[in-house]
Structure 1
Amino acid sequence: MRAPLSLLALCAALLLATGAAAKCTENTEGWDDLSLGGCKTCSADNSTCEECWPRFSLNAEGSCVECNGMGEYGAYCTRCDPEDPSFCLECRGDDEGNLDFGLYGNEEGKCTPCPLEGCQECAPLNGTCQYCRVKQGLIDGKCQACEDDSALFCNGGVSTECYSGSFPDTSTGTCQACPANCDRCAGAGVCDVCDIGFGPDAATGACVPCESEGCQSCSSPGVCDMCEYFVGYWLDGGACQKCAVKHCAQCDGDVDFCNICNHPKGEYGANPTTGACDKCAVADCANCEDDYARCRLCRDGFYYDEAAKQCVACSTLDPHCTDCGAMGYGPQEGAPTCTECGQGWEVAGEYTDVRCIKSKD
């Protein structure tokens, strides 16, 4: 006997409600791991997403839709129409330096280069330039070099952002020097962030040397907040302690027990039993800094065989191979492959089927 329609509807509603309560997954890794989805912030009950990461857009149902912009620069789309993910509304700049111009979403929904030469950021739809490239500014409707060499950015000949150690002076329109030993300041009188190795004096506000040897940053001359990284100091009660072990880079908590070694040639590593810096146990190893018994990087002309725990000559892959490494992609990720051949030879093939062939020249 079939259940009454009203009962079926009630069951369906309960199932939907149960599923809705836990359908949102918050991605805390962002672009580092998009396999977790595009939601940046979920609602309090985890039923919907409230904010998406760039490259995703929030639809009416509270889900993040991944953008798949069309055209040559579609991969640079950061916000799109959630009902039509191929229609791009906003485009990001080039983070990796592959482009020397900005992009915007045009009326056709495609990421397009900013019309004005030298423009790094322009408005959606019409492409009106908003920011020029570094050391340039909008002058007479064009992106031109700033008149002030100290300016990072300018606008109409007026410096708006300056390099470290200087600030934009609104009265002169130029970059003026911060106080001595100051990295960032809003004006000539007070420093906001002191240079490395300096801290603010409580009485004068001037940046003076940190008292503790090896201190990189101090909240006051006598109180260190951060010791010089990877050069043999560790922070202990507001002061930097010097590691006593030769070639030691880090000895957190005990100056006589090294955790990470830092030999100029990378040939020494920490002994987890004795705390000493011992020579790398693996032959032809160029780096074993955190464990002398395990090689992190082999010297040129060798690759690390994880199974055998040893450095193997690249010539075992091909007699003419002079440099090699482990692949970071492909069907056999991590497998060794030749990356460079000797004089008169060149690399050919892909993945693990890489070999040295006679040069055509």
Structure 2
Amino acid sequence: TTSCVTAAAGKLKEWSLILYGTAEHPYHTFSAHQSRSRMLELSAPELEPPKAALSPSQVEVPEDEEDYTGVCHPECGDKGCDGPNADQCLNCVHFSLGSVKTSRKCVSVCPLGYFGDTAARRCRRCHKGCETCSSRAATQCLSCRRGFYHHQEMNTCVTLCPAGFYADESQKNCLKCHPSCKKCVDEPEKCTVCKEGFSLARGSCIPDCEPGTYFDSELIRCGECHHTCGTCVGPGREECIHCAKNFHFHDWKCVPACGEGFYPEEMPGLPHKVCRRCDENCLSCAGSSRNCSRCKTGFTQLGTSCITNHTCSNADETFCEMVKSNRLCERKLFIQFCCRTCLLAG
């Protein structure tokens, strides 16, 4: 009754709408869960007695949007489109580029910095530094962006080429150095640092050959030195650097004894003696160029010196005695003037 309705607020727990003239049976009872979710809290004045069922003409049915019936973009797939542009496709023939935030569009080829994921038909971004790639991995770069070098063995993009590689500025690639080089520049064999077991020589790394051998650049191996050489730069007798034991260095050769007019002299830092020339009047000398042991033809030996053949006489006795007492007889000039006094001096 009306008094019951006005006494307290009520809740509508279940309702249904019957439309006449439908093709299928319209009546469907909601489940308990659906009924609870559809509860409507109504105040008492809003409750009204059930009205007669509405006629079909009284029911408002929203109109559907009209479907696009024009020509789709060539990159649109078999699902069609909502308009004529590449960003209005419902699916793509080749690849979809972009995201929900930036909007997507269909493309035939993915742009630089992306690769085509054929399974998902999506353009996916390459790793940082890659201009073209075959996957997202850092080791799948095919070419690099400006400021990067392509490491062809690792398929990565780097700002500096690692040890054992040099930067090819024309192709922007990291190319491998010669196997003997630890570091190189501009060219494979232009080494700056050598690997262990090699030494740097004029920009090349050559093997550290054993004593008595040299590096043969044609055969790329160590060859034997001449038997007179301790170390050498080639197989010839005149290519010695140091002499073998008991040999002396003379005119770029190592000899068992110095020739006439020469004497062996030790040199600091060298393992062998070097043949030095005797005084110009000496035929042979020992220990010093002035310490003559034999004189050339036309000269006479006076002590350890050789003087010209003439009558051995003194200039002035007093003067020559002074030369003798001051030990000046060794000097060639005084020997010439004071031959007899100096000769007597022995």
Q: Counting strand residues as a fraction of each chain, which structure ranks higher?
A: 1
- TM-score normalised by length of structure 2: 0.24
Instruction: State the structure with more CA Rg.
Output: 2
- TM-score normalised by length of structure 1: 0.24
